[in-house]
Amino acid sequence: MERHEMMLIISKRLLKFTAASVVVTTILFGITFIYGDRFMVSWFAFQCGIVGGFASIQQRLKNIQDEELELLSESWATILVVPIYGGIFSLIFYLLVLSGLVEGYLFPKFYVPDFDFPPTTENMKAFFNSTYPVSGADFAKFAFWTFVSGFSERFVPQIIRKVSSSGENDGK
């Protein structure tokens, strides 16, 4: 099979997967918004990461070696790994921001409901249902950084290494 054909097969599969994930996420948004009167931020984060992973692999296609290109063109699973990792990394980024381990002017701020001590089931429900970016600008920052989390395979792992090494140094 020619290089051009393999790239076309991979691009079509990536596009189909991304379109399907956008449709599924839109349906989940609709269900939670209409029936639960809320917008699920975690689904949005996951979708931004998937789109970031899609853009990343699509951008790198022209530089991939022929052997790897052939492997990608023959298997759905190998194609989907990067976008799915992108979605997972964006969810981890979301947790890092919510926890306060990643913060600053460039990163989004969130409203997080108060917790009782000890936390209750109602606290957890409120956390999942009522945690949102505090402004439109914070929502835009959130969309940008979750896309970057999916696009750049090293972004979130580098943050994790930095946070964990900082934690180790604080313990000494």
Domain boundaries, the chain: 3-167
Residue 132: beta bridge partners?
A: 111
d(C-alpha 125, C-alpha 122), whole Å: 5
* 108 φ/ψ sector (left φ>0, alpha ψ -120 to 50, else beta): beta
φ, ψ of residue 36 to 5 degrees: the values are: -110, -5
pLDDT above 90: residue 94 = yes
Query: Tens digits of per-residue pLDDT, 9-25?
Result: 888 988 898 899 889 88
Residue 82 identity (one-letter amino acid): V
Does 34 or 101 have the greater pLDDT score?
Answer: 101
Does 73 or 110 have the greater pLDDT score?
Answer: 110
State what percent of residues in the chain have pLDDT above 70.
Answer: 96
3-state secondary structure 45-88: HHHHHHHHHHHHHHHHHHHCCHHHHHHHHHCHHHHHHHHHHHHH
Q: What is the pTM of this model?
A: 0.84
Average pLDDT rounded to a whole number, residues 24-28: 84
Angle at 163 between CA 158 and CA 168, to 5 degrees: 125
pLDDT above 80: residue 156 = yes
pLDDT above 80: residue 170 = no
